[in-house]
Structure 1
Amino acid sequence: MPDDNRVDRRVCQLYQRGIVPYATAWAWQRSLVDDRRQNPSLDDVMLLLEHPPTYTLGQGASTQFLKFDPAQAEWEVHRVERGGEVTYHCPGQLVGYPILNLTYYQKDLHWYLRQLEAVIIQVLAVYGLQGERLPGLTGVWVSDRKVAAIGIKVSRWITMHGLALNICPDLSGFDRIVPCGLSDKAVGSLEQFVPGVQFEQVREQVAIAFAEVFNVQLVEDADVAKIER
């Protein structure tokens, strides 16, 4: 784990956006990853944004967890290179896409997944909620409801895809799938536990927690603003 006492924390560029089409954000991630394959010394990046209603399946995901025909769907459906089964994105869900070079952290995918979960758990604690991990599963639960899903892709130790935290979304879109292939687990949102929670405030807490958990200096849009420990 990085030394929390070091002075020269790694810089991570923070891009906070509103609703971005899934294909646009996906192409943006791939471009950022390609740049860092060619030049590993480039700063890391964290994208925080939302998507319009979209279903995504991991590279090995089964279509049996879709309750509709993807060829005739009125919603966007994408099969992407992350791990995991099918999930749903929509406004009110905060999506975080870290583009990190794990060479500067730990070359350990399990460590990285647990760090992403730790970010969510730390944010939930701000609102007096106990985020929980379930043995053998990836993500974060509050009580019996999964409030955050995680799915990643790592190539040459550079990460893409990431986490999705349900803050105040319309959860009905999850009814059309078996989320993450878990038929016995309910999906929930932060709003269900903290009525009136503000999306922008939670997004800020996610940025702060990410900076603390990964021990980085977040620089928003090329020095416009900074979130530091």
Structure 2
Amino acid sequence: MTAGGQPAAVAGDLLVKRLGLVDYEPALEAMRVFTAGRGDDTPDQIWLLEHPPVYTLGQAGLAEHLLPAGREAGIPLVQIDRGGQITYHGPGQLVAYLLLDLRRRGLKVRELVFLMEQALIDCLADYGLHAERKPGAPGVYIDGAKIAALGLRVRNGCSYHGLALNVDADLAPFTWINPCGYEGLKTIRLRDFGIADDVAAVGERLLGHLLRLLPPVSVTGAGVAHAAAAD
């Protein structure tokens, strides 16, 4: 995986990689390789990055949620192994991948999803925005419009994939799909609320909340392998 970011930095009991703009498929392969090669003592990692324009479709996702305008737009569609339906990634969107050993942190998948949502809610509150969860529809919303999406894969007790927060991304590609499988779902971004911080600045703020909420490494247990149905 090539990236134009900064060297990895230690933050508490994990490594943080600020990778800049990275093509989607090499990033996905790097997550898989890292997760498959983990040992009991491998430090957890969080990757902060952006992707060039790409649609991703979860392992049980329906291709029909890519509308004709999306098929004609020339944006690549990648079938992947997270839960959930279709979403869009592009420049101006903060992506955070959480490569965590859940057993060592005593976390269940639903607890990690809740934690990720809470970190996003707290980050947005820093900007004076009231965000909330929506029952049955993982992610974070402001007045019913989606500003952040989630998607995870857990293999042998270790997570990869993560979350995406719209900072100043082009929202047009979202109108060419049924975002996360919901027809007519409105998507929004921080810039719509007059927030001037760029992706890097928002990433540091969100990272602080993730690190605050993550339990420390201390617990081991049996492994699991499944996708979390999140979007």
Q: Specify if TM > 0.5.
A: yes
- For 1:88, the equivalent position in structure 2 comes to 88
- For 1:220, the equivalent position in structure 2 comes to none
SS at match of 2:169: coil
CA-CA distance at 1:106 after TM superposition: 2.8
Cα deviations across residues 52-94 of structure 1 (Å, max 9, x unaligned)?
0000000000011011398876221100000000000000000
- For 1:35, the equivalent position in structure 2 comes to 37
How many Å separate the matches in 1 of 2:184 and 2:176? 15
What residue identity is the alignment partner of 2:75?
A: W
Are 1:70 and 1:77, in contact at CA under 8 Å, matched by a contact in 2?
no
- For 1:204, the equivalent position in structure 2 comes to 204
How many Å separate the matches in 2 of 1:184 and 1:131? 19
Are 2:127 and 2:195, in contact at CA under 8 Å, matched by a contact in 1?
no
CA-CA distance at 1:107 after TM superposition: 4.3
TM-score (norm 2): 0.84
TM-score (norm 1): 0.85
CA-CA distance at 1:156 after TM superposition: 1.1
Cα deviations across residues 123-161 of structure 1 (Å, max 9, x unaligned)?
101101111001111000012210000010001110011
CA-CA distance at 1:199 after TM superposition: 2.3
- For 1:25, the equivalent position in structure 2 comes to 27
- For 1:150, the equivalent position in structure 2 comes to 150
Aligned pairs for 1:100-139 within 5 A: 100-139=100-139
How many Å separate the matches in 2 of 1:115 and 1:52? 27
Are 2:93 and 2:168, in contact at CA under 8 Å, matched by a contact in 1?
yes
Unaligned runs of 5+ in 1: 1-8, 218-229
Are 1:53 and 1:89, in contact at CA under 8 Å, matched by a contact in 2?
yes
SS at match of 1:187: coil
How many Å separate the matches in 2 of 1:107 and 1:201? 28
Of 88-97 and 27-36, the range deviating more from structure 2:
27-36
SS at match of 1:42: coil
Change (3 A) 1:73 1:192: closer
Cα deviations across residues 158-217 of structure 1 (Å, max 9, x unaligned)?
001110000110101111100001114211111111342332211110111111011459
- For 2:76, the equivalent position in structure 1 comes to 76
Of 105-114 and 48-57, the range deviating more from structure 2:
105-114
How many Å separate the matches in 1 of 2:71 and 2:172? 21
Root mean square deviation, CA, Å? 1.9
Paired residue total: 207
Are 2:17 and 2:47, in contact at CA under 8 Å, matched by a contact in 1?
yes
SS at match of 1:180: helix
How many Å separate the matches in 1 of 2:209 and 2:184? 30
SS at match of 1:95: strand
How many Å separate the matches in 2 of 1:12 and 1:76? 32
